[in-house]
Structure 1
Amino acid sequence: MNAVLDTHVRLAIEKVEREAWFDMYAAAPDDYIQNSKLSSARLGTSIALADHGTPIAEFNRVLGIGIDEPASEAELEQAIAWLNEHASPSYALQVAPTALPEAVWTWIEARGLKRAGNGWAKHYRDAVPTEEHPIPTALEVIRLEPHHAADFGHVAQAGFGLPLPIGAWLSALVGRPKWNVYVAYEGPTPVACGAMFIDHGWAWLGVDATLSDYRGRGAQNALIKRRLTDGIAAGVVGFTAETGQPPEGQEELNKSYCNYVRAGFKKAYVRPNYVSNG
């Protein structure tokens, strides 16, 4: 991957993730928005997300700063102010290592935010044909139609251990433009899920969850392969996903990380999380 392509890819995978999450929040039903104090906003070229009903960083963060164009201190101040006003206290400011200008890191730390944990590994894969997994699964992967949307919401909520009401929100992604939503079944029982958002020829893969009793049976490998196959058929030129970044030397212990590596994804970079000391 040459330097020009590398810059293009890093921009594209940040943008498609940004748009996927912003559209996901736009899909939320009104009652969920009211009960969970859900909100989202575009702040310049970044997006801000808040969900008091799901008080974890994935649902309470700002991402995209310094990607489309260099950030300013005013933009950073706006992002932090928005999070303090709208988000759960467990929020994160996520800034890609390619964000401009380089002074953005100094600005963040000067405002009392500290880097937390190992960050998120951003994975990338081009549109080469997929290969068969060495251990096929007996589970059946189905692209859902709206009349089975509740299966997706149930598996995502239960698989991640999220608050029960979030199932109705995530179910709303089924049948929504730009989204392809999948569930793996054992007979009639929904046991695992995954989603794909396609925008401007790029695809974001996410909402990968498996019910605890069905883990280790190849469901996510099959779901990744199906999304890659369908995405390539739809003209996707590049795919991205993110997982937690394992400690150095312990990558093989993170199942999600290994699933994407096994499917031909390469880690593009690690995106840190900055959190408030408060």
Structure 2
Amino acid sequence: MGSSIAIADQGTPIGEFNRVLGLGIDEPVSSAELEQAMAWMHQHASPRFSLQIAQTARPAETIQRWIQARALKPSGNGIAKYYRYALPAEDHPMPTALEVKLVEPQLAADFGHVVQAGFGLPEAVIPWFSALVGRPKWQVYVAYDNQIPVASGAMFIDHNWAWFGIDATLPDYRGRGAQNALIKQRLTDGISAGVVGFTAETGQPSAGEEGANKSYGNYHRAGFERLYIRPSYVTNK
């Protein structure tokens, strides 16, 4: 829709698959475009879809009046957006025994299964995520306990910039350093590929609860700095 993107999947009722991004970034958004986005999402998305509005969205006054008029409410504390310069990754003080591997096509299903099970998603998403293996600009990784795939992470590279995401760990293997190792491997490989800057995102914890959010702590520990928080707005329906 113009310069924004709408994503919808009623069968996967989580925010990552049901949201509108980029409103008012490349060009100011109009009330008509906001209405178009809402109408499309009501038709195609899970009922708890969100509008994610960046701090730089324009025109800010119009967007805020429109949100208030439709009684949209903030969802949680928003999304914390991170940035990191392309500096070498430091070793974690407590190395993991898990082995991180760049996934080859013959093991693509390992990635899909870990993402599905780690996030508790419907099994229908397994082939979706498996299909990222070998896709242009994508590098996907799995951490193994011997031959058992237990954690995942992905890197998307475009014009010497990289985005990190799809960080999932099976419940029985959390707290064993998998994500720290996956972040370090992606940083190392990204720098080797000429990446000059890395971005990532996590949910923003409530004040005083940052230590309980593992993803938040992992990225801070790896040298990522939070640049801003992107609010998410949802309907009351």
For normalisation by structure 2, the TM-score amounts to: 0.97
1:81 aligns with 2:42: no
C-alpha offsets along residues 80-106 of structure 1, whole Å, 9 cap, x if unaligned? 111111101010000111211112122
Shift of 1:79: 1.1
C-alpha offsets along residues 220-239 of structure 1, whole Å, 9 cap, x if unaligned? 00000111111111111111
C-alpha offsets along residues 237-269 of structure 1, whole Å, 9 cap, x if unaligned? 111111111001110110010000000001111
Output the CA distance in 2 between the equivalents of 1:116 and 1:156.
Answer: 23
Other-structure match for 2:68 = 109
Output the CA distance in 1 between the equivalents of 2:189 and 2:32.
Answer: 41
> What SS is found at the alignment partner of 1:117?
coil
Other-structure match for 1:93 = 51
> What SS is found at the alignment partner of 2:201?
strand
RMSD, aligned α-carbons:
1.0
Other-structure match for 2:96 = 137
One-letter amino acid matched to 2:168 = A
Other-structure match for 1:271 = 230
Output the CA distance in 2 between the equivalents of 1:236 and 1:82.
Answer: 36
C-alpha offsets along residues 184-219 of structure 1, whole Å, 9 cap, x if unaligned? 011111110100111122111111001111111100
> What SS is found at the alignment partner of 2:76?
strand
> What SS is found at the alignment partner of 1:165?
helix
Shift of 1:116: 2.0
Matches for 1:185-196 after TM superposition, within 5 Å: 185-196=144-155
> What SS is found at the alignment partner of 1:203?
strand
Output the CA distance in 2 between the equivalents of 1:82 and 1:235.
Answer: 39
Other-structure match for 1:58 = 16
Matches for 1:18-57 after TM superposition, within 5 Å: 43-57=1-15
Other-structure match for 1:151 = 110
Matches for 1:172-211 after TM superposition, within 5 Å: 172-211=131-170
Output the CA distance in 2 between the equivalents of 1:127 and 1:232.
Answer: 6
> What SS is found at the alignment partner of 1:52?
coil
> What SS is found at the alignment partner of 2:143?
strand
Output the CA distance in 1 between the equivalents of 2:136 and 2:56.
Answer: 30
Output the CA distance in 2 between the equivalents of 1:256 and 1:244.
Answer: 8
Output the CA distance in 2 between the equivalents of 1:102 and 1:48.
Answer: 20
Whose helix proportion is higher, 1 or 2?
Answer: 1
Output the CA distance in 2 between the equivalents of 1:215 and 1:73.
Answer: 44
Other-structure match for 2:27 = 69
Output the CA distance in 2 between the equivalents of 1:62 and 1:85.
Answer: 13
Higher relative contact order (CA closer than 8 Å, sequence separation 6+): 2
Output the CA distance in 2 between the equivalents of 1:199 and 1:108.
Answer: 33
Other-structure match for 1:254 = 213
> What SS is found at the alignment partner of 1:118?
coil
One-letter amino acid matched to 2:174 = R
The alignment of Structure 1 onto Structure 2 pairs a total of residues equal to 236
> What SS is found at the alignment partner of 1:249?
coil
**Runs of 4+ off more than 3 Å:** none
Show structure 1 runs of 5+ residues with no match: 1-42
Identity between Structure 1 and Structure 2 (%): 69
